Amino acid sequence: MAVIHQTYVRPTKLELLAPWLPTRPWYHGSPEPELVKAGGFRLDDPEGEVGIEFMVVTDGPDAYLVPLTYRAAPLPGAEHALVGTMEHGVLGPRWAYDGCHDPVLTAGLAALVEGRVEAQAQSVSHTPDREVARAWTGAARVPALGAPTDTDGTTEFAAPDGPALRLHRVLTPGSTAPEDALGQITGAWTQPDGSRVRAPFAVLQQGSR
């Protein structure tokens, strides 16, 4: 299970995200967001090499889901997905990527939908996150996810002639997955007023929009 090192990261993840987030097509806040870490979870990399985190950040009343991967070296061909670089107090230099463009994260996301892996606590080692729920109606595995496409509020992975997995970048408290959903992941985060809310993080549906 994921090991969380209690050490410094420079710049912080929020400092990395602050200039990057306004460049995303699904972001609708100010050019200078005031970000707060509000929730999320981690997944384990079976090889133990890549950090995988699904972070929820709030900017005022708005909540965004930001999947991130952390690597010890650049990911070839993913320069367009680089969020920034950090210095980790234990692991040294780390390259942080928009995880939707990292095959390690997308494989883990499919495995989570199917129930082959468990979501892990964001800030505690060796601890499953019981607030993350998943459902899967299929008898077989989730099809191989295609290249991500950013749309208004989501990032979509469409499989040829198969279902599409939509990752909700903009989160709506209290929303639910469509009735025809083949699978889903829901999670929780804390709003600025301190209330704890839930919504779908990812939904698998037949066909793309």
**What is the pLDDT at residue 105?**
96
**What is the pLDDT at residue 52?**
96
Extract the tokens encoding 161: 């002639």
Q: Is residue 199 part of a domain?
A: yes
Question: In the predicted model, is pLDDT for residue 208 greater than 60?
Answer: no
Q: Quick one: average pLDDT of 177-194?
A: 94
Question: In the predicted model, is pLDDT for residue 207 greater than 80?
Answer: no
What pTM was estimated for this model as a whole?
Answer: 0.92
* Number of C-beta neighbours around residue 40 at 10 A: 24
- pLDDT tens-digit profile of 50-95? 999 999 999 999 999 999 999 999 999 999 999 999 997 767 799 9
Q: Quick one: average pLDDT of 158-166?
A: 80
Instruction: Tell me phi and psi for residue 13, to 5 degrees.
Output: -60, -40
- pLDDT tens-digit profile of 113-158? 999 999 999 988 789 999 999 999 876 678 778 889 988 899 999 8
Instruction: Tell me phi and psi for residue 139, to 5 degrees.
Output: -95, -20
Q: Is residue 89 part of a domain?
A: yes
Q: Which residues contact 144 (CB under 8 A, 6 or more apart)?
A: 159
Domain count, the chain: 1
Reduced to 3 states, what is the DSSP secondary structure of residue 194? coil
Averaged pLDDT score across all residues of the chain: 90
Rg of the chain, C-alpha, whole Å: 16
Q: Give the strand pairing for 148-150 and 154-158.
A: antiparallel
Q: Is residue 1 part of a domain?
A: no
**What is the pLDDT at residue 99?**
96
**What is the pLDDT at residue 10?**
84
User: 3: pLDDT confidence band, cut at 50, 70 and 90?
Assistant: low
Buried b (16+ CB within 10 A) or exposed e, 150-187: eeebbbbbbbeebbbbbbbbbbeeeeebeeebbbbbbb
Q: Which residue has the tokens 């979509």?
A: 156
State the amino acid at position 194 in one-letter form: G
**What is the pLDDT at residue 1?**
55
Q: Is residue 3 part of a domain?
A: no
Instruction: Tell me phi and psi for residue 158, to 5 degrees.
Output: -100, 130
User: 100: pLDDT confidence band, cut at 50, 70 and 90?
Assistant: very high
**What is the pLDDT at residue 121?**
93
User: 4: pLDDT confidence band, cut at 50, 70 and 90?
Assistant: low
Look up the domain containing 42 and give its range.
9-206
Of 11-20, 81-90, 183-192, which range is least confident?
81-90
